[in-house]
Structures are given as structure tokens and as C-alpha cells.
Amino acid sequence: MRNVGRIHFLPDALKAFADADQALPIACNQTISQPYVVAYMTNQLLLEKEFSVLEIGTGSGFQTAILSRLVRKVFSIEIIPQLATEAKSRLLNLGYSNIRFKTGDGYFGWDKYAPFNAIIVTACAELVPPSLLAQLRNGGRMIIPIGKTDGHQQLQLISKSISGSIQVQALLPVRFVPFRRL
């Protein structure tokens, strides 16, 4: 995380808070997660260099950049066109070259490149989208905040066994922006 530099992913007015362990606002009424949560979620995926990872919610691109340094390929979907355009430009200008970008509804994942070794969702959904479960490779892991956006949210780790059975583990309470749909 030190090698990525959160400062590159913040609005100018908030760059002084880059090292603060707190969520901060970005464009379009969205947020960049606190570094602890970014590190925690990333760590829970048990990533390996040869993995391909699906990220739902590119946002400013901070989590995307971290994933990019750890795995072979990152596929990132952002529903808000302005954020998608800005993050893609930012990440390309910073030299990240193993990321594919898509502007669209992350609920449906990215079937063209499935299955994924890991999936990370950076917005709170009320339920796990079935399409994401279907695109998770057997033996893969997904991390996603689940709950009501105006109430209790729980970070959940979903593991898919080699045979395809699903195990869900509640990890910790969190507060994320809502999972948006088209």
C-alpha cells in the first residue's frame, strides 16, 4: 500500500489527509475507503500473482491500483461514468497496465472474462448478486459488504470450494456507499 500512494487518488483539497485512516469523500457523492479497510479486504482474498480479480466499484481507483500490483489482471467495473473516466485516466497515467475497465452495472459482473479467482465489491449490497457468485471460480473468494445502506452492514467473505459449494463468513461491521444499479 505504501508503494501505491493514496494521495494520487484524492481530490486536491483532501491530499493533506492521504495518510489518515478514514474514509474520505471523492467526486459524485462517493468515498475512498479508509486504508485499514482496503488492506483488510485485500488480505482476505489471499491473492496470488497469477490471479485474475473482478472489482465492482472502481471509484477513484485506489483499491484497483493495489490489486494491480498483486495480481496478473484486474477487471474493474464502475457504474458512474465520470468516476470511471477519471479513474481510468489516473491509473493509466500512473503506469498501471494490467487493468481492464468497464463502465456499467456491476451487478452482472463481467461474464466475458469469468471465472475470476477473486471478486471484491466496494459498495454495500442488500444481497450477494447471483451473477457474481456464478463468475467466481471454484476455489475462489469474494469479499462484499452486505446489509442496509442506512443501517447495519457486515463485511462478508464468500468462499467457493473446489466442488462449487458456498461458505459465507461474517467478518466485521462496515459502512459503505450503496451498491448502485442502472
Q: Which long-range contacts (CB under 8 A, 24 or more apart) does 88-96 make?
A: 88/58, 88/61, 90/8, 90/9, 90/60, 90/61, 91/61, 91/64, 91/65, 94/8, 94/65, 96/64, 96/65, 96/68
pLDDT in tens, 131-180: 999 999 999 999 999 998 777 999 999 999 999 999 999 999 999 998 98
Percent of the chain with pLDDT over 70: 100
| Distance in angstroms (rounded) separating the CA atoms of residues 179 and 124 | 5
Per CATH, the number for 6-173 is 3.40.50.150
**Grid cell 484486474 in the structure block, residue:** 74
Longest dimension (CA), the chain: 49
The domain segmentation of the chain, as residue ranges, is 6-173
Catalytic residues: 33
